[in-house]
Structure 1
Amino acid sequence: MSLTEALLSQGSSTGTIFGALLVCLVIYLFTISSSSQDKGEKYPPGPKPLPLLGNLHILNLKKTYISLCELAKKYGPIYTVHFGPRKVVILSGYKIIKQALVNLSEEFGDRDITPIFNDFNQGYGIAFSNGENWKEMRRFALANLRDFGMGKKRGEEIIIEEAKHLKEEFEKNEGKPFETTLPMAMAVSNVVCAIVYSGRFEYSNTKLHHMIRRSFENMKLTGSASVQIYNMFPWTRPFVANQKRIVNNLKETLRQTAEIINGLKKTLNPQDPKGIAECFLIRQQKDEESGKTDSFYNSKNLYITMNNLFGAGTDTTATTLRWGLLLMAKYPEIQVKVHDEIDRVIGRRQPMVEDRKNLPFIDAVVHELQRFANVAPLGSARRTTCDIHLNGYFIKKGTSVWPLLVSILRDENEWETPDSFNPGHFLNKQGQFVKKDAFLPFSAGRRSCPGESLAKMEIFLFFTTLLQYFCFTPPPGVSKDDLDLTPVVGFTLNPVPHKLCAVKRFQN
């Protein structure tokens, strides 16, 4: 999709576009002229950009991550690409990404905040902020995620309880075809809600339905071609309908978040906080009483941080689990092995986290589905905090850097069959589970996912519990070969819309 096509599809006038393009062209040429004065440094190579348009003529914005992987084959593990006037350094492959994100975590430690994510967060919260605000919010989130269950027995108990509700929800379909998206997202979001708000929603609650659907829609629209163009050319905002839709969704979600938090305020006990939101309210109250005027514990950080936890904690984990069930229906021979290991090791009792060490095949399947699903192929964009040399190339301070997680998870140097679903990637010849350094679905370094341990626990427990009770098959008249594994591309990669049958393996 070209820039002109994208803009005209939004109904913009030719005169307005031409004038704006002319102004941007002048700015672009001035920028190129200024940067060309840097002498004696070796910059990452890359395709020659066109004036203003950069490399848009060779990029498929509907599948950006694929275009970038193809360019890496030509230009190497570190190269430069121009998204319009924006220069971005791309990192591809396990070795170079580990070197940047782990060995040079401080130098590559800032978040690159594009216009759409600035619209989302305005510099507040955890996901898309920098500096002291990010440091304080991340410290707060990590400490309280641990206190309220992440990686602990309480977290396991919350997930196990929710897995029972999810199993009952699946049973209601009586083995008939159904869409897994909403019930799976409800289960995962309820785990987040229990930790953040100390409560859960019934699966029939339409308010939570709307929150989930808005979150999923925003993830999809954020990766759309028109929003990518908006990130390159912020002046196109009046013509980008998807940007307006995203912002309206966010406003409605923040309004519902405020409703929940206002309810918590009425019963708040400073001596006995029940969840992360209440801990934030208590800290906010203390800072206000002490007269602190520059506190990070303000209402904007409260709403956006809680929304970050809800959105990030729901979408990626629920999407990974949906891929898992689809893959079981696609590969019944693997599902049979999963069932056999569950029956042999666990039987009909409730699966526990400690069972993982005795379930090497299931552990391998869970890891492989995360690798294969490749839910966040572009990773999270970084920005250099100083001038830095990497792999012999010079990268300026403030440069946008994209570590392609897909290039690690599908790296042919790290995986025997990178484009196939193969649990054997995580098994040795004796059938024992083996860890792989290149397994980095949650990224790495100081900007890695703060909820990683919780997500891992959820994926294992939900997956194992559902496979204990159900056999997942395609709908009647649909063969396993008909099940499509081509992802729907947004900010994350989702399975194409599909239905599955959850057939009970035994009576309760």
Structure 2
Amino acid sequence: MALGGALSIFLSLCLLCLLIWIAWERTSKRGKLPPGPTPIPVLGNLLQVRTDNIFQSFLKLQKKYGPVFTVYFGPRPVVILCGHEAMKEALVDQADDFSGRGEMPTIDKNFQGYGLALSNGERWKVLRRFSLGVLRNFGMGKRSIEERIQEEAGYLLEEFHKVKGAPIDPTFYLSRTVSNVICSMVFGKRFDYEDKCFQNLMKMINDSFVEMSKPWAQLYDMFWRIMQYFPGSHNHLYDLLEELKDFITSRVKINEASFDPSNPRDYIDCFLIKMHQDKSDPNTEFNLKNLVLTTLNLFFAGTETVSSTLRYGFLLLTKYPEVEAKVYEEINQVIGTHRIPTVDDRAKMPYTDAVIHEIQRVIDVVPLGVPHNVIRDTHFRGYFLPKGTDVYPLIGSALKDPKYFRYPDTFYPQHFLDEQGRFKKNDAFVAFSSGKRICVGEALSRMELFLYFTSILQRFSLRSLVPPAEINITHRISGFGNIPPIYKLCFMAR
């Protein structure tokens, strides 16, 4: 028995070594990849990458290996791009080569290559072109999107007035108001803030973003082939996204029951029209899966990123009350108190515009960016990236690139102002990514941020429960996304 047991162990070790050797041979034939830390078989570079702060780990490796380097997520090589110049060369100068979507194992099981955000090839091109067209129509021409944002800002101000300056956690106040803007476009309606279903949706979106950003999710991205069979928070994330898909599906059924092709009411109706037109084409991308998952992409992104930016932004303004005071002074001079802000005001308010840009830069909502993939064998900076190589363009490294920002780790609105106090663009400001995969909702997000910030600060001053010097602006969680700390704030009527 003892001899048999020893033989079994020996044969198991031989098999393991063989599997490791095969995996190593496969990775060694993947072209001339950029340099990076030496990976350990099976584990890859797990020892060099902290899953509780993966972005900082990459910045540390950048100092040793330069702005373009390779790390191994288990046996899978991933190329990391750091700084504005490397990102521009890849995503803009070689846009076609880097236009694929890379693996996102934490959510790939939910999407399976469907929907706008995670699709590739012709499917992605068709869905992107269609979605951009619908968004540019400002909700199918019923009302301008600016008016919708102004209306929602008005509802939010009413909610702030109701609490009469009492301290509140602004998280779901902001997510509900921002979400209603995208809801009016994709579902053709807004939801009452007290609607229990709507409140549950906001919680699920918030929880999903948190789960995607936890250390467990970063570990799962590295070892999903094994971890998918074990319990963990990745299963909770899967369930959350499935519930959101179920909600979208229910909205599609509601639209189908009252559908009038001659009078499209929202994004779903426009998609249904295309489905009807292409019903005889077996290869059409206008099918139910793409409808549900692209709508979920728009709903999720249109809710979480802007609301997180506002929430983090108000925390920064309470820490720097002198900045809030200057913004209010500019609001008072340009807009006054007797009319609501408009998008046209932005050109006359360079300081406010600079503050909003600096908030986006400092908080860096998605520091890792969303992974790309090279769609063909690609030569880049003297290296050879075989077709299918995943690439992480670190948006946060561009937003904190010392070549383009004088004080990269400091909240300093002057980064976006020239010597005469006029707004100054900065090429390294890539909060919405860049190249062919740039966020389809960029224009909408910019409009929302300006109108919400100015509408709120026109009517309310911000009061923290602690002195400004004691306000903690450190990320509560930093992974795929930077999650702001939980805090309470008083909105005091002016």
TM-score strictly above 0.5: yes
Question: 1:117, CA displacement in angstroms?
Answer: 2.5
Contact preservation (8 Å) 1:226, 1:240? no
Deviations 1:216-269 (A, max 9, x none): 211111222222232222222132421211111112111111222222222221
User: Which of the numbers 26, 32, 45 marks the counterpart of 2:24?
Assistant: 32
- The one-letter code of the counterpart of 1:345 is V
**Equivalent in the alignment of 2:330:** 341
Number of the residue aligned with 2:493: 504
Give the 3 Å change call, closer, same or farther, for CA 153–101 of structure 1 in structure 2: farther
Alignment match of 1:241 (pick from 223, 229, 232): 232
Aligned residues, how many? 481
Match of 2:241 in 1: 250
Q: Which residue of 2 aligns with 1:10?
A: none
Per the alignment, residue 410 of structure 2 pairs with 420
1:305 correspondence with 2:297: no
> Could you tell me which residue of structure 2 aligns to residue 145 of structure 1?
135
Hey, what's the Cα distance between the residues in 1 that align with 2:16 and 2:110? 25
How far did 1:149 drift? Answer: 4.7
4+ aligned runs moved over 6 Å, structure 1 = 19-25, 150-153
Find the aligned partners of 2:486 and 2:467 in 1 and give their Cα distance.
16
Distance 1:24 1:170, change over 3 A: farther
Q: CA deviation at 1:386?
A: 1.4
1:42 deviates by 4.5
2:117 is matched with: 127
Aligned counterpart, 1:273: 264
* CA separation of 1:94 and 1:83: change in aligned 2, threshold 3 A: same
**2:398·2:430 contact (CA, 8 Å) conserved in 1?**
yes
* Whole-angstrom distance in 2 between the partners of 1:20 and 1:64: 33
The aligned residue for residue 355 of structure 1 is 345
Q: Report deviation, 1:408.
A: 0.4
Separation (CA, whole Å) in 1 of partners of 2:88 and 2:390: 17
Q: Which residue is 2:7 aligned to?
A: none
Q: Deviations over 1:156-180 (max 9, x none)?
A: 1110010001111111211111001
Deviates more, 1:257-266 or 1:299-308: 257-266
Tell whether the 8 Å contact from 2:24 to 2:41 is kept in structure 1 after alignment. Answer: no
Change (3 A) 1:332 1:120: same
Which amino acid is the alignment partner of residue 52 of structure 1? V
SS at match of 2:461: strand
The answer for the alignment partner of 2:472 in structure 1 is 484
**How far apart, CA to CA, are the structure 2 residues paired with 1:484 and 1:152?**
43
Partner in structure 1 of residue 5 of structure 2: none
Alignment identity in percent?
Answer: 41
The answer on whether the counterparts of 1:94 and 1:408 sit within 8 Å (CA) in structure 2 is: yes
Q: Report SS of the residue matched to 1:454.
A: helix
**Amino acid corresponding to residue 466 of structure 1 in structure 2:** I
Structure 2 partner of 1:465: 455
TM-score normalized with structure 2 length: 0.94
Match of 1:295 in 2: 284
8 Å Cα contact 1:150-1:454 kept in structure 2: no
Offset, 1:77: 0.6
Deviates more, 1:430-439 or 1:221-230: 221-230
Q: Matched residues in 2 for 1:270 and 1:156: separation? A: 26
The residue number in structure 1 matching 2:378 is 388
C-alpha RMSD of the superposition: 2.0
Q: Contact conserved, 1:72 with 1:79, CA < 8 A, in 2?
A: yes
Please give the alpha-carbon distance, in whole angstroms, between the structure 1 residues aligned to 2:29 and 2:98. 24
Cα distance, 1:151 vs structure 2: 12
Give the Å deviation of 1:25.
6.2
Query: Which 5+ residue runs of structure 1 have no aligned equivalent?
Result: 1-18
